[in-house]
Structure 1
Amino acid sequence: MSDTDKPALTMAPKMYVHYCEHEGCEMWGGFGRSASKDEPPHWWCWEHFPHKSHEQEQALIRQRLEAIQRESGAK
């Protein structure tokens, strides 16, 4: 199929804005999950995403500790 065979785009695509569903968090929710097509997805930021592997969780903890050490060393 070539580009000339495709119908013209009549409406602009909709932009969906997802924020983290964790209470009090206002970060972008770039990680969504839904159990089925019938259920609407839930969205989280990476910090609050509940479906991380153990290794991913440990890497996040290391990043937090390094940030704390940088902040305490800069004072």
Structure 2
Amino acid sequence: MSDIDRSPRAPDLYVHYCEHQGCDNWGSWGNSPSPAVPTRWWCWEHFPHKTYEQEQALRRKLEAAVPGEALTVALD
């Protein structure tokens, strides 16, 4: 099938926000134990499947953050 044969159509977009109560951040970290179970989504701060090292790095970064400035989280 070539691109000429297909009808022009935008891809479907899925909107998912963090499942943590009270958080309205974009849920970019999803997890599902199997394809039969719907994926649950969290922001990085609330993602429950971080390693201990990732959790400690996030904690240090949050403690060192200056109030009012943007905070970026790099994934190692």
TM-score bucket (shorter structure): 0.7 to 0.9
Cα deviation digits, residues 24-68 of structure 1 (max 9, x gap): 00000000001111110000000000000000000100011101x
Gaps of 5+ in 1: none
Gaps of 5+ in 2: 68-76
Q: 1:15 — aligned with what?
A: 13
Distance 2:35 2:7 in 1: 26
Q: 2:61 — aligned with what?
A: 63
**1:5–1:48 CA distance, 2 compared to 1 (3 A):** closer
What TM-score, normalized to structure 1?
A: 0.78
Asked which structure has the greater CA Rg, the reply is 1
Q: Secondary structure at the match of 1:46?
A: coil
Determine which structure has the larger helix proportion and give its number. 1
Root-mean-square deviation (CA, aligned residues, Å) is 2.0
Aligned-residue sequence identity (percent) comes to 54
- Number of residue equivalences: 67
**1:37–1:56 CA distance, 2 compared to 1 (3 A):** same
Alignment partner of 1:33 out of 31, 34, 38 = 31
